[in-house]
Amino acid sequence: MVQKRVLVVDDEKLIRWSLSRMLEKNGYLVEVAGSGAEAREQVEAFNPHMILLDIWLPDAVGIDLLNEFKQKNDDLIILMITANAQSDYVVQAFKYGAEDYIGKPFKLDMVEHTIAKAFEKKSLAQAPDDFGQGVDANVELNQMVGNSPKMIEVFKNIRLCAESDCKTVLILGESGTGKELVAQAINQHSARSEQPFIELNCAAIPENLLENELFGHQKGAYTDASSEEKGIFENANKGTVFLDEIGDLPLSMQGKLLKVIETKRFRRLGGKDELETDVRIIAATNRNLAQMVEDGEFRGDLFFRLNVMVMRLPALRERKEDIPNLVQYFVAVLNKEYGRQIESVAAKGMDCLIDYDWPGNVRELRNTIERAIMLENGKVLNPRCPGCENSRHVGGDRQIPSVQPDGAVSTISSAPVEDDYSRLPAGGMSMDEMEKELIVQALVQFNGNQTEAAKHLGISRDTIRYRIKKFKLSGFGKDRKNNKASA
């Protein structure tokens, strides 16, 4: 369940303190503001579900703020606090959508009750199995989802990086935490967003081609160089270069990159003249660069240069409160992608997803939801994650293999996988369902490669194509991780 966020706005320090203590004790996330200006900032940054709003503030009238906040977000619950409730104000407040009124001085247990009642009324404590209404058919792709304080901090830093135009940004985080999304978001919100954004996966390009990719070459620089060609630093001029997997950049290239960062100048391969480039470099890695420096695998001076504006992305297990929102988002996105109509997620399935530790982070969660959607014919999704006992199948207790972050398929069943399929589950299972599940697994295992999947299942390519169409599985199993343009 999402932890509810409450903003306390009052100019009296003691009131802010006593209300926040009571709220925190009751499990709410709390922020405080002592003025109208601070309240506006917190509403942006903290995105509260509820505001306890004093009527008299040094720089604003609470009623005006109430109106302003409700106009922007009608779902926001606002409780007014005042020492001297004047009927005009009370009427006005309710007209503008205040939920309730708390008179000063107040008894904390009364306030506690009023808050709980207001949340109950709005039923913000949505059961995880009941978000069908909330699944937005117009959901936008490539959004970053997250309401946890850690993700809110990430969003704040994205804005900071985007606005500051600092020349390097380093994004760190485990695999699947969203480093690439963050790089794109920084670009989109920056003044450079209309300029080129060029991505290079340092791990995907052979060492001998990297220099050419980055710096380009003059005609005749080497045997195949029949004409001159610009490299990334020239093509991305005024824009952004995203160096993904920077930890995999060979040492030979690290020195050259450092020079570009320090002097903004470089030479094409075989070129005599130094060319200028104005690029912002966003680098990302899931490797421990400091350790690599110690081990002599990464240049200390380059690390020092990159280690200025650093964003660390939290692992999903550190912000489990984001899981329901992420699930809701992926269901909406994948519904759209595959033309499905999943309306809700079974509570048991959601509990499982929340319990699991997600070593492959958001990518693994997305893969799990995708797989569950492929296997679901009804409107209620019953996802199961690796390690989970809850099976959606008629066979109930049967363990089915699950997708690992690297696309491999594993099972936590102690019995070999073959055993699972050699016996009919007690509750029966349709041939179609069995067939579909095997195809899904093979596609996942081979990253959507139909030829490999067909070979593995001992059927022809035509047969697998026909089945994929029949079960509406097209596009399924392709590892998005490798979908990025390499340059």
Site of interaction with ligand ATP (CB under 6 A): 144-146, 173, 175-181, 286, 326, 329, 362-363, 366, 480-481
Q: Which does 356 bind (CB under 5 to 8 A by kind): ligand ATP, Mg ion, none?
A: none
* SS3 category, 37: helix
Phi-psi region of 173 (alpha: psi -120 to 50; beta: other; left: phi over 0): left
Which of Mg ion, ligand ATP, none is residue 363 near (CB under 5 to 8 Å by kind)?
ligand ATP
- The nearest distance, CB 193 to ligand ATP, in angstroms, is 18
Q: In this structure, what token pair is assigned to residue 372?
A: 């569950």
Q: Which is nearer to ligand ATP, 263 or 291 (CB)?
A: 291
Q: Among Mg ion, ligand ATP, none, what does residue 178 contact (CB within 5–8 Å per kind)?
A: ligand ATP
Q: Minimum distance between the CB of residue 242 and Mg ion, rounded to whole angstroms?
A: 9
From the CB of 312, what's the least distance to Mg ion, in Å?
15
Task: Give the distance, in angstroms, between the CA of residue 370 and the centroid of all CA atoms in the same chain.
Answer: 15
**Which residue number, 289 or 473, has a Cβ lying nearer to Mg ion?**
289
Give which of 430, 410, 408, 434 is closest to 421, Cα–Cα.
Answer: 434
- Peptide bond preceding 105 in cis form (omega within 30 of 0): yes
Given the complex with ligand ATP, which of 320 and 481 has the nearer CB atom? 481
Nearer to Mg ion, 174 or 180 (CB): 180
Closest residue to Mg ion, judged by C-beta, is 180
Q: Write each residue from 138 to 177 as x if it is in contact with Mg ion (CB under 5 A), else as -, in one continuous string.
A: ----------------------------------------
When CB distances are held under 5 to 8 angstroms depending on the partner's kind, the choice from Mg ion, ligand ATP, none that residue 314 binds is none
Question: Is cis: bond before 128, omega within 30 of 0?
Answer: no
**What's the closest the beta carbon of residue 334 comes to ligand ATP, in angstroms?**
11
Q: How far is the CB of 243 from Mg ion (least distance, A)?
A: 11
Residues 143, 322 contacting (CB under 8 angstroms): no
Rounded to a whole number of angstroms, the minimum distance from the CB of residue 173 to Mg ion is: 9
Contact 292, 172 (CB under 8 A): no
Give the nearest distance from C-beta 114 to ligand ATP in angstroms. Answer: 34
Q: Check residue 269 and report its DSSP letter.
A: B
Alpha helices in 216-266 (DSSP H): 232-235, 251-263
Nearest to 157 by CA among 139, 120, 183, 177: 183
Is 4 or 179 the residue whose CB approaches Mg ion more closely? 179
Q: Are the C-beta atoms of residues 438 and 445 closer than 8 Å to each other?
A: no
**In this complex, which beta carbon is closest to Mg ion, that of residue 179 or of residue 319?**
179
Phi-psi region of 220 (alpha: psi -120 to 50; beta: other; left: phi over 0): left
Closest to ligand ATP by CB, 170 or 362: 362
- Owner of token pair 């420096």: 293
CB 179 to ligand ATP: min, Å: 3
| Residue, CB closest to ligand ATP | 178
Q: Which is nearer to ligand ATP, 178 or 386 (CB)?
A: 178
**Residue 180 in the binding site for Mg ion (CB under 5 A):** yes
Report the Cα 124 to chain-centroid distance in Å.
22
Q: Which is nearer to ligand ATP, 173 or 383 (CB)?
A: 173
Residues 262 and 305: their CA atoms lie apart, in Å, by 8
Output the six-digit token pair for 236.
Answer: 């991305």
Residue-by-residue DSSP string for 150-209: HHHHHHHHHHHHHHHT-SEEEEE--TTSSHHHHHHHHHHTSTTTTS-EEEEETTTS-HHH
The option from Mg ion, ligand ATP, none interacting with 146 (CB < 5 to 8 A, set by class) reads ligand ATP
Among ligand ATP, Mg ion, none, partner that 128 touches (CB below 5 to 8 angstroms by kind): none
Which residue's structure tokens are 């937005």? 136
| Residue 217 touches which of Mg ion, ligand ATP, none (Cβ within 5-8 Å per kind) | none
124 binds, among ligand ATP, Mg ion, none (CB under 5 to 8 A by kind): none
Least separation in angstroms between CB 236 and ligand ATP: 19
- Residue tagged 């240069």 (tokens): 305
Would you tell me which residues interact with Mg ion (CB under 5 A)? 179-180
